[in-house]
């Protein structure tokens, strides 16, 4: 063999070696990329699977909700006493709070999932405070001029509480749904 052939053969071998080396790098990069992509996909899938399996939040304890509601009524009662309302209004609001306290315990225990229970709870949580809080923030002169309107609102609320108490104590379940719809329309939906 001549020297030229050896040179060409060595050049061809070097070119083949460079080509194989370049392809090997591409293959190595492709394999490493595939492994990394597989691992990332696996860990993302496991994370999403764990996240979707997180337990649903526990259903709120009805007794705890009732105690919170009663606590709000106590807070309202204390606020009313601290603002120095007249004895007649103070006595009316305290009577309503006492009736609500007694009725809320009974209805939440006996009919926890009923619409009337929800509506009465809203009256205690939302309506009574929304009637009283703006009145409490008025000046003494403005309170005097708004007293009749407040008393009318309290009269209506107390009358409905008495009606609900009669329904609950008499176990008149057929009348519950109609009364719940009426109370929701009259007190809850107007004010919320």
Other beta carbons within 10 angstroms of residue 181's beta carbon come to: 13
C-alpha–C-alpha distance, residues 26 and 145, integer Å: 88
User: How many alpha carbons fall within 13 Å on the CB side of residue 186?
Assistant: 16
Considering the domain architecture, whether residues 83 and 4 belong to the same structural domain is answered as: no
Considering the domain architecture, whether residues 16 and 109 belong to the same structural domain is answered as: no
C-alpha–C-alpha distance, residues 168 and 160, integer Å: 12
- The residues, any chain, with a CB within 8 Å of residue 101's CB and separated by 6 or more, are 70, 73
* Closest of 96, 108, 113 to residue 162, by C-alpha: 96
Which domain does 25 fall in, by range?
1-54
Considering the domain architecture, whether residues 17 and 106 belong to the same structural domain is answered as: no
Do residues 99 and 161 lie in contact, with contact meaning Cβ atoms separated by under 8 Å? yes
pTM: 0.60
Q: Kindly indicate the confidence band of residue 47, based on its pLDDT and cuts at 50, 70 and 90.
A: confident
- The residues, any chain, with a CB within 8 Å of residue 153's CB and separated by 6 or more, are 131
Considering the domain architecture, whether residues 105 and 49 belong to the same structural domain is answered as: no
> What average pLDDT does range 176-184 have in this prediction?
65
Q: Kindly indicate the confidence band of residue 5, based on its pLDDT and cuts at 50, 70 and 90.
A: confident
Residue 34, pLDDT above cutoff 80: no
C-alpha–C-alpha distance, residues 180 and 187, integer Å: 10
* Closest of 88, 99, 76 to residue 147, by C-alpha: 88
Determine the Cα angle at 177 with ends 94 and 175, to 5°: 80
pLDDT digits (tens, 9 = 90+) for 110-127: 878 777 788 788 888 888
As for how many domains the chain has, the answer is 2
Considering the domain architecture, whether residues 89 and 137 belong to the same structural domain is answered as: yes
C-alpha–C-alpha distance, residues 94 and 132, integer Å: 12
14, 31, 54 - which closes a domain: 54
- Please count the residues of the chain: 192
54, 72, 88 - which closes a domain: 54
Q: Please give the structure tokens belonging to residue 144.
A: 């005097």
- The rounded radius of gyration (Å) of the Cα atoms in the chain is 38
Considering the domain architecture, whether residues 24 and 101 belong to the same structural domain is answered as: no
Selection from 33-37, 152-156, 166-170 with the highest mean pLDDT = 152-156
Considering the domain architecture, whether residues 87 and 50 belong to the same structural domain is answered as: no
pLDDT at 179: 64
Mean pLDDT of all residues belonging to the chain: 79
């Amino acid at each position: 063999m001549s020297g030229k052939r050896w040179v060409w053969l060595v050049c061809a071998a070097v070119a083949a070696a460079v080509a194989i080396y370049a392809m090997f790098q591409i293959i190595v990069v492709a394999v490493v990329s595939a492994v990394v992509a597989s691992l990332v996909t696996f860990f993302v899938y496991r994370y999403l699977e764990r996240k979707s399996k997180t337990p649903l939040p526990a259903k709120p304890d009805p007794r705890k909700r009732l105690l919170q509601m009663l606590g709000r009524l106590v807070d309202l009662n204390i606020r009313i006493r601290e603002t120095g309302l007249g004895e007649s209004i103070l006595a009316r609001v305290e009577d309503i709070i006492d009736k609500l306290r007694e009725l809320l315990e009974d209805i939440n225990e006996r009919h926890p999932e009923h619409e009337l229970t929800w509506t009465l709870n809203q009256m205690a949580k939302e309506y009574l405070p929304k009637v009283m809080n703006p009145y409490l923030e008025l000046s003494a002169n403005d309170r005097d001029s708004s007293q009749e309107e407040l008393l009318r609102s309290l009269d209506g609320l107390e009358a409905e509480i008495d009606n609900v108490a009669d329904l609950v104590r008499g176990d008149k379940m057929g009348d519950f749904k109609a009364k719940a719809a009426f109370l929701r329309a009259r007190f809850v939906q107007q004010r919320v």
